[in-house]
Structure 1
Amino acid sequence: MADHTDPFSSSVIPFQLPEQVRAFAEKGVTQAREGYAKLKDAAETHNSTVEAVFNTATKGATEVSSTLLDIAKTNTNAGFDFAQSLIGVTSPAQAMELWSGFAKSQFEAFTGQSKQLAELSQKIAAETAEPIKTGANKLFQPAA
């Protein structure tokens, strides 16, 4: 027994969409699929970009750590060498001369080490930014 007031009743005549409405709906579905595909590609590109940035940053951090350890080792050895030199000092004048030479060499070493770290930091920043730049260029290519 079908209820004629119930639009979901099985006895209701199926509704037919006009051809123009159907074509419009199909076009909308096609555009939605294309938009989804573009969004998915952009997301995958973005994920690989983030992964590349983290990999580059990790390598850079390892390089900085290694450089800092080398610098610490060099400075520690210089300090021990200086301390050992002080043991053989026989006069205050000789100690001052030794200390003055050590201070000068340490200042020069510090200047060189600072320059080395600055160059390394710039290199790492450029290498880390490269995947971002590449990803942005892929994502925002001008329409052909």
Structure 2
Amino acid sequence: MIKGVGLVCVMVFDQDVAYDFYVNKLGMKVGFDAPMEGGGRWLLVHAPAQPEVPIMLAVPGPPVMDEERAVKVRELVSLGMMGPGALATDDCWATYRELSAKGVEFTEEPSERFYGIDAGFRDPFGNHWRLTQTKV
């Protein structure tokens, strides 16, 4: 039986840039940051209130995948075709203003939806995220 989400994987091109964006701009906390056996780096971040749902910031390429697949993944990410999901907030407009002031590039301002208030933004690599305030 599935009891929940254990890990979300987001493809990034540079883990130092990803660290700066996800930790310093979005306010994520680092859960794990260490070299991987065989090369690479394990970099896990999480929302401060949700440490049980880590986000792995992984670079496409060896040892995660071969270079041919990595080229295709990087292309899809840069085109904004890789949408990892939505990040939750209690106040979409306030979070939008806060993140915009930190340099986060929004593709859509917050707007009313049937499920709440929602906005779109991308990370420095092109990953498309939603910022969502759900109706109670």
What's the TM-score once normalised by structure 1's chain length?
A: 0.18
> Which structure features the higher share of strand residues?
2
Larger Rg: 1
**Normalized against structure 2, the TM-score is what?**
0.19
The structure, 1 or 2, with the larger RCO (C-alpha pairs under 8 Å, 6+ apart) is 1
